[in-house]
Amino acid sequence: MKESLIYSVIFYFSQVVTGNTKKVTEKIAEGLRLGGHKCDLIRFTKYHTDLELIKGFPFEKYDLIGIGVPVYYFHPPYHILFELEHFPSLNGKKGFLFCTSGGNPGSTLYQMKKILDRTGLKMIDGYDKWIGWDVHQLYARQENSNGDYGWLPSSYGHPNEQELNQAKKFGKALINKTLDPKTSEKIDFWSQENESSKMWSWKGIQKWFPEFNLIREKCTQCGLCAQICPWDAIVLDPYPRWVKNCDKCYICHLKCPENAIDCDFKKQIDYLESIMNNGKKKNLI
Ligand SMILES: Cc1cc2nc3c(=O)[nH]c(=O)nc-3n(C[C@H](O)[C@H](O)[C@H](O)COP(=O)(O)O)c2cc1C
Ligand code: SF4
Ligand code: SF4
């Protein structure tokens, strides 16, 4: 290690609507830079661009490699999970994982760790309890919805100041853990596959979530949906067409300035409400 200064890099993904993971990542980096240590931030944006980046990335420069993601359906976003398969051998390097979620991270870190085990990265820490404002359309009928889309009331205002301070402390603590040769590998990578994460498998989300219907009369062909899609799943032809399976993040739907993308979430919202109501009846919620 160069003059006991550590050089770290954090790869992260954070959707353009909320940016929760970005906020947490920047705070972890602040902690990691204390005392003159260096930390670079790399934001993942789109599947194919990210793969190119990973292919040419100078991993050898770094002592510590972090990866942060939002939780999508109890998993890491699938495009990120598939990208992790392309990380090269990282023998001799230390690593850490984290995520932000609306409150239920499911088996997100477990799945990332499982895929990265192949690289030899020694995972020294991880954290999956940071909350981020959750604007998924499944909460569209919540009382505080603005009408276009809903949000989960319990996640509103997160990550808050306390969580961001905690993220900075987490970063600071990583410095000693990296410098100490006796730091052991973290193996309790947290909850394993549960029923919900099994149901929302890659195939499961394709089947269960609604299709995209373009309202041509409203669409101005501005291209924003295609530009922000992390999967490059939308092509302009000259109107947008959805050409492949994707993360089902519905960011294209949320961000369209003309509300030209119609997705019918009624079935999914009804299902979610029935689970919530059953939970309330049994005093589980
Ligand atoms: C497609 C999608 C699926 C989500 N699934 C979950 C989930 O299973 N559990 C959860 O607690 N939060 C879930 N969330 C909420 C996000 O994990 C949370 O808002 C996160 O902080 C977003 O991070 P970002 O702003 O960095 O993208 C989901 C959000 C989206 C958009
Ligand atoms: S963002 Fe909306 S208006 Fe722009 S091309 Fe996509 S669907 Fe059309
Ligand atoms: S939901 Fe829309 S933005 Fe998200 S991955 Fe699918 S096509 Fe792309």
- On the question of pLDDT at 143 being above 80, the answer is no
pLDDT of residue 275: 74
Ligand 1 and 138: CB distance under 6 A: no
Domain identity same for 148 and 44 = yes
pLDDT of residue 147: 55
Q: How far is the CA of 181 from the centre of ligand 3 (A)?
A: 43
pTM: 0.94
- Of residues 153 and 13, more confidently modeled: 13
Establish if 251 belongs to a structural domain: yes
pLDDT of residue 239: 98
Domain with 209 in it: what CATH number? 3.30.70.20
Percent of the chain having pLDDT more than 70? 93
Domain identity same for 133 and 214 = no
Do residues 221 and 236 touch, judged by C-beta distance below 8 A?
A: yes
Give the residue among 61, 56, 114, 50 at the shortest CA–CA distance from 88: 56
Establish if 184 belongs to a structural domain: no
Residue 75's φ and ψ, nearest 5 degrees, are: -130, 170
Ligand 1 and 132: CB distance under 6 A: yes
Q: How far is the CA of 263 from the centre of ligand 2 (A)?
A: 14
pLDDT band, residue 186 (cuts 50/70/90): very high
Give the residue among 3, 180, 4, 191 at the shortest CA–CA distance from 94: 180
Domain with 136 in it: what CATH number? 3.40.50.360
pLDDT of residue 194: 78
From 148, 215, 225, 239, give the residue whose CB has the most ligand 2 atoms within 8 Å, as the site to mutate. 225
Establish if 193 belongs to a structural domain: no
- On the question of pLDDT at 101 being above 70, the answer is yes
- On the question of pLDDT at 190 being above 90, the answer is no
Q: How far is the CA of 47 from the centre of ligand 2 (A)?
A: 21
Average pLDDT over residues 205-227: 97
**From atom 6 of ligand 2, which residue's Cα is the shortest distance away?**
225
Give the range of the structural domain holding residue 232, as residue numbers without chain letter.
201-281
State how many domains the chain has. 2
Least confident of 32-41, 144-153, 210-219: 144-153
pLDDT of residue 214: 98
Establish if 190 belongs to a structural domain: no
pLDDT in tens, 247-260: 999 999 999 999 99
pLDDT of residue 111: 95
Domain identity same for 134 and 247 = no
Q: What is the DSSP letter of 134?
A: -
pLDDT of residue 271: 84
Ligand 1 and 102: CB distance under 6 A: yes
* Closest ligand 3 atom, residue 251 Cα: 3
Give the residue among 113, 126, 130, 124 at the shortest CA–CA distance from 176: 124
pLDDT band, residue 269 (cuts 50/70/90): confident
Q: Coil, helix or strand for 274?
A: helix
pLDDT of residue 149: 57
Domain identity same for 141 and 262 = no
- On the question of pLDDT at 285 being above 50, the answer is no
Average pLDDT over residues 154-182: 96
From 202, 247, 256, give the residue whose CB has the most ligand 3 atoms within 8 Å, as the site to mutate. 247
* Closest ligand 1 atom, residue 69 Cα: 26
Residues with CB under 6 A from ligand 2: 214, 219-225, 240, 256, 258, 260-261
pLDDT band, residue 280 (cuts 50/70/90): low
Question: Greatest CA span in the chain, whole angstroms?
Answer: 64
> Please, what is the average pLDDT of the chain?
92
Average pLDDT over residues 195-208: 88
Expressed in angstroms, the distance from the first to the final Cα of the chain is 49
Task: State the CB neighbour count (10 A cutoff) for residue 85.
Answer: 12
**From atom 4 of ligand 3, which residue's Cα is the shortest distance away?**
249
* Closest ligand 3 atom, residue 248 Cα: 1
Average pLDDT over residues 80-107: 97
Establish if 196 belongs to a structural domain: no
* Closest ligand 1 atom, residue 158 Cα: 21
Ligand 1 and 44: CB distance under 6 A: no
Strand pairing partners for 123?
95
